[in-house]
Amino acid sequence: MEQNHRRTIRFKLNGRTAITEIATHETLLEVLRRDFSLFGGRESCGQGLCGCCTAIVDGIAVSGCLYLAAFVDGAEVTTVEGLASGGKLHSIQESFIANCGFQCGFCTPGFILMTKELLERHPQPTTDEIRHYLSGNLCRCAAYPDIVRAVKAAAGEHNR
């Protein structure tokens, strides 16, 4: 492999400085899993459709499966593992547990991260807004009614 096909990237990952060496074609999702053992993001469709690979880059949600790892050089990245603080889960995580917003849990990290962005953009979302915003997240277990309930409860919490 040619020299300029590899590079070192430095970024903030869940609040801490992260440095790793990558190849130019590698996706953010691959690198998070391989180099940082962050397995919350999963590759499912690999085409931007399902949201299982969601990560937050500089405050916006992206599909990690379609995002070049090289592009997070200098950025701030948050994964589901970075939401809890001081041993306490984030209120959105609590809300998904309290409302059973999942069955197998495969899609849950993506839904939780998307909910975080949803509540930043629409602090008091209507049911339609929730459904529309999360329409790019697929749940094979079809836990959708419970997910919407969990998001509504989290919005209440968020606004307190």
Partner 1 sequence: MKSFDLAEPATIEEAVALLDPEDKSVRAIAGGTALMLMMKTRLFQPTRLVSLRRLNGDLRGLRVNQDGGLRIGAMTSLAQLEYSHLVASTYPVLSRALGTLSNIRIRNVATLGGHLAHGDPHMDLPPILMTLGAKVSAVSPRGRRWVDICDLFTGYYETSLIKDELITSVEIAGQPPGVYCWYEKFTARSADDWPTVGVAVRYIVDSGVIRDPRVAVSAATERPMRSAAAEAALTNAPLAPHVLSKAADAAADELEPIADLHGTASYKREMVRVHVRRALEKAAQWRR
Ligand X SMILES: Cc1cc2nc3c(=O)[nH]c(=O)nc-3n(C[C@H](O)[C@H](O)[C@H](O)COP(=O)(O)OP(=O)(O)OC[C@H]3O[C@@H](n4cnc5c(N)ncnc54)[C@H](O)[C@@H]3O)c2cc1C
- Residues at the site binding partner 1, with contacts judged by CB under 8 A: 1-2, 4-7, 23-27, 46-49, 51, 54, 60-63, 66-68, 70-71, 114, 117, 121, 132-133, 135-137
Closest distance to ligand X from the beta carbon of 34 (Å): 23
Q: What's at 120, amino acid-wise?
A: E
Residue 81 binding partner per list ligand FES, partner 1, ligand X, none, with a CB distance cut-off of 5 to 8 Å that depends on partner kind: none
List alpha helices for the chain, DSSP H: 28-36, 91-98, 108-121, 127-133, 144-158
Instruction: Please identify, using beta-carbon distances, which residue of 100 and 142 lies nearer to partner 1.
Output: 142
Distance of alpha carbon 154 from alpha carbon 101, whole angstroms: 11
Instruction: Please report whether residue 143 would count as binding ligand FES according to CB under 6 A.
Output: yes
Instruction: Please identify, using beta-carbon distances, which residue of 53 and 151 lies nearer to ligand X.
Output: 53
Helix (H, G, I), strand (E, B) or coil at 70: helix
Q: What's at 136, amino acid-wise?
A: G
Distance of alpha carbon 34 from alpha carbon 146, whole angstroms: 32
Token representation of residue 107: 């899609």
User: What is the x/- site pattern for ligand FES, positions 17-56, by CB under 6 A?
Assistant: --------------------------xxxx-xxxxxx---
Instruction: Please report whether residue 49 would count as binding ligand X according to CB under 6 A.
Output: yes
